[in-house]
Amino acid sequence: MPLPVISMAQMREWENASWAQGRQEADVIRRVGRAIVETARRLTQPTELILILAGRGHNGADARITLELFDDRRLDTLDVKDPTADFAELESLLAARPVLIIDGLFGIGLNRPLDAAWQKFIGAINAAKIPVLSVDVPSGLDADTGEPQGAAIQAAVTLTVGAPKMGLLKMAAWPFVGRLEAAPGVGLIQYPHTGELNWTLAEDFAGLPPARPVAGHKGTFGHVGIIAGSLGYHGAAVLAARGAQRAQPGLVTVLTQEMVYIPVAAQLQAAMVRPWNSHASLDEFSALLIGPGLAAPDLAGDLKQLTRELWKNSPLPIVVDASALDWLMPEAFAPNTLRVLTPHPGEAARLLKTSTTQVQSDRPAAVRELSKMFGGCFIVLKGHQTLVGRSTGDIFANSSGNPRLAQGGAGDVLAGLLAGLLAQPAWQTDALQTIRYAVWRHGAAADALTATRPHWVIEDLIEALGAR
């Protein structure tokens, strides 16, 4: 199940409740140590050198216990009690160029700005440009606000303990947190509260994709219609179609502008392609995607008006992406129908008539406002830690994906994948889970690619979506 995103006070309450029920702090520390070792092994190779920096608090104990658990890496360690007295040794250890630093200097208990000596100490670590694995929070970062306390470690990966701390998802924290990962199974009791913001885990999608009936046929698995592509932007229609194909609906049809019909049709085989006709019936489809590549300035106004009418009245699940987002009116849609908007932060800012910075500063609030504006629809607010939610209920932060997704076409693939899933009856029963799965699967494919071939392109992403 997903993890709640919690405050420092809630983390303390959770720990105290665990101790009161007989959980042993030493056992938790050992389990955290095992999680650190597992993560560090994934980031390094056998016999490579790792530097462990351990402070006085619980984070120091978590980092220190890894000395007992590693058996296939070379280790240096520095117990840091006085940043001034220990600075020379730090410089010497950094000069040995370890491939990874484990940061256990400060945890969530830090409640004051760091003095000049600590700022110099942390500055030297950051200046070394050696990847850092931070335990729970990057040392020096306020786990509630996401702001550095004078200085903070710039981690490549932060392994947060138990559940993510709310400050780690703040825009201010992103340069320090790096990739956020969670270590939930560390021996604490089940978290006793619920919250509106949750962290997605791969385990949330156990049992997906659903089994297909052995006697199923094309009609069993739906027909997705993709209204996409215009002069200068025909590739978006192709990418959306290929993303939809990876969802394996029974049929995929692209309805594209006549002037780009030939280049779109020439690149697709199994997907059907037709020139767009505003009078064509859409009754054959079980879901629609509208928007990828519809950015040419001379698009017919009837397409924009039809998009508004479909959004308001169609019984079909509808995903609206890219340029078509600007065509919608802030209004409700037919009851018991499914609607999804997939804006990136710039598009969200334009819809909300605010700045991208304002959207990024409170992403959950942007999800709530957008959903409310457009009738309570689902929102996929793309970007770092993509959010999925609506005007009420839970919001989910995605844990997969990496900066190499920042390529033109990535969003088209995601929109196609999502619409291809929602076209299928088996995926329509729990729309929120399906939307979350599409977002997570898209990011996980990017992570798998980056681990083996970092200079991949969007066509590679489509292939990776077809892998396990």
DSSP secondary structure letters along 268-281: -SSSEEEE--TTS-
* Mean pLDDT value across residues 123-131: 98
User: Apex CA 317: angle with CA 314 and CA 322, to 5°?
Assistant: 100
Per-residue pLDDT of 249-281, as tens digits, reads 999 999 999 999 999 999 999 999 999 988 888
Give the separation between CA 117 and CA 326, rounded to whole angstroms.
52
Query: Of 50, 113, 59, 115, nearest to 82 (Cα)?
Result: 115
Query: 218-465, which class in CATH?
Result: alpha beta
pLDDT band at 367 (very low <50, low <70, confident <90, very high): very high
Classified by CATH at the fold level, domain 3-8+28-192 comes out as Rossmann fold (3.40.50)
How far apart CA 97 and CA 447 sit, in angstroms, is: 26
Q: Is residue 116 within 8 Å of residue 65, measured between CB atoms?
A: no
pLDDT > 70 in the chain, percent: 100
343 token code pair = 């804006």
pTM value is 0.96
Residues of the chain with CATH 3.40.1190.20: 218-465
Please, what sign has the CA dihedral across residues 320, 325, 329, 330?
A: positive
Work out the average pLDDT over 302-309.
94
Instruction: Round to whole Å and give the CA distance between 234 and 228.
Output: 8
How many CB atoms lie under 10 A from the CB of residue 303? 18
Is pLDDT above 80 for 303? Answer: yes
Specify the DSSP element, H or E, that contains 302.
Answer: helix 301-313
Q: Is the peptide bond before 425 cis (omega within 30 degrees of 0)?
A: no
Q: Where in the chain is the domain with CATH 3.40.50.10260?
A: 3-8+28-192
What mean pLDDT comes out for the span 48-77? 94
Residue type (1 letter), 65: I
d(CA 122, CA 127): 9
Q: Fill in the DSSP letter of residue 153.
A: -
